[in-house]
């Protein structure tokens, strides 16, 4: 029960989302997302891409619920459709010509590569949705603050600005609506003036917030030599176990990819590597890595429900 409670609040190590995986050490979170994002980008094998995409959308919807599902349908899916159509429309490489469109050959290889590219783009976007839910700015600074302190601080602050500004804009719009200045009502020029006023308030708030942040950093001694930083992250036995599992599974899948046990060629002819027993091990290892955090969430939730039923 303790593990469930700590996981639901982000863990005793200061995690981000209401997630068991967020309660693990930041190095494990970062290692996981580094793998699941980079592998589809640099190795666009159809099986690897399919596993990555299914795992990405499953975990993202689990963490974000209906809001993420709407985002996937309203943004990710159209982006994937455009990417899938863009490649065969402008790339005419390949030997298998299916038809001509305005005297331009549309090849099977270009269509397949377009679908692979679309799947890769969709999975990467969805993995970053989960990344934003799991990896907080505190975790990022903890990992890279001592290596590149200035850059890590700038990156963490930049990643924080977008959701912070969106949240503040919603507050301003809600406050103005409460006093009768709804930006969605009135004529066109009234809407423009209301939008300009909201932008003016946002700029003022952003400048004031920047000054307050600078004063706070100065008061806390940021940049002074010998300054230490408090961290509440501990690498315990649970983290060691999961890290070993991750490293073994990643080593198996990456080794198989680099040695050519699973390979693909899109141009000039689409060719997949022969199906071998070892290839199945690589696919299973990759799937195990991608789905492991989700499996941890489901397992912990089942344990939690079992414990509640016994109360």
Give the tens place of pLDDT for each residue, 259-273.
888 888 888 888 887
Among candidate residues 135, 121, 110, 105, the one with its CA nearest the CA of residue 13:
135
Q: What CA–CA distance (Å, rounded) separates 77 from 83? A: 10
More confident: 85 or 2: 85
Q: What CA–CA distance (Å, rounded) separates 17 from 297? A: 12
Average confidence score pLDDT of the chain: 82
Q: Which of 63-67, 102-106, 170-174, 231-235 has the lowest mean pLDDT?
A: 231-235
Each residue's pLDDT tens digit, 202-258: 888 888 887 887 777 777 776 666 666 666 788 889 999 999 999 999 999 999 888
Q: Which of 62-71, 123-132, 151-160, 181-190 has the lowest mean pLDDT?
A: 151-160
More confident: 122 or 150: 122
More confident: 180 or 167: 167
What DSSP line would sit under 139-191, residue for residue? HHHHHHTTTSHHHHHHHHHHHHHHHHHHHHHHHHHHHHHHTT--TTSS-HHHH
Q: What CA–CA distance (Å, rounded) separates 131 from 19? A: 12
Residues belonging to the chain: 311
Q: Is 245 exposed, middle or buried (0-12, 13-18, 19+ CB in 10 A)?
A: middle
Position 18 pLDDT exceeds 70: no
Helices and strands, counts by H and E, the chain: 11, 4
More confident: 183 or 47: 47
Q: What CA–CA distance (Å, rounded) separates 60 from 81? A: 20
Entry pTM:
0.74
Q: What CA–CA distance (Å, rounded) separates 29 from 105? A: 45
């Amino acid at each position: 029960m303790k593990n469930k409670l700590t996981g639901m609040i982000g863990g005793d190590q200061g995690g981000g989302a209401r997630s068991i995986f967020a309660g693990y050490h930041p190095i494990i979170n970062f290692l996981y997302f580094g793998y699941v994002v980079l592998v589809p980008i640099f190795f666009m094998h159809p099986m690897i891409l399919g596993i990555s995409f299914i795992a990405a959308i499953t975990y993202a919807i689990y963490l974000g619920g209906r809001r993420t599902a709407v985002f996937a349908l309203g943004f990710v899916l159209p982006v994937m459709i455009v990417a899938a159509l863009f490649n065969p429309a402008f790339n005419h490489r390949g030997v298998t010509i299916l038809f001509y469109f305005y005297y331009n050959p549309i090849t099977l290889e270009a269509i397949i590569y377009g679908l692979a590219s679309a799947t890769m783009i969709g999975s990467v976007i969805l993995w970053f949705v989960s990344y934003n839910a799991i990896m907080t700015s505190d975790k990022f600074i903890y990992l890279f603050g001592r290596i590149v302190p200035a850059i890590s601080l700038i990156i963490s602050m930049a990643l924080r600005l977008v959701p912070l500004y969106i949240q503040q804009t919603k507050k301003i719009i809600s406050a103005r609506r409460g006093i009768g200045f709804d930006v969605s009502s009135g004529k066109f020029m009234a809407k423009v003036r209301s939008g300009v006023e909201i932008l003016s308030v946002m700029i003022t708030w952003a400048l004031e917030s920047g000054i307050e942040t600078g004063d706070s950093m100065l008061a806390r001694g940021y940049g002074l030599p010998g300054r230490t930083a408090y961290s509440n992250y501990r690498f315990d036995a649970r983290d060691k176990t999961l890290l070993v599992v991750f490293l073994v599974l990643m080593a198996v899948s990456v080794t198989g990819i680099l040695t050519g046990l699973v390979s693909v060629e899109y141009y000039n002819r689409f060719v997949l590597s022969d199906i071998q027993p070892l290839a199945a091990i690589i696919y299973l290892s990759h799937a195990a890595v991608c789905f492991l955090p989700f499996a941890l969430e489901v397992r912990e939730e089942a344990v939690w429900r079992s414990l509640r039923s016994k109360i």
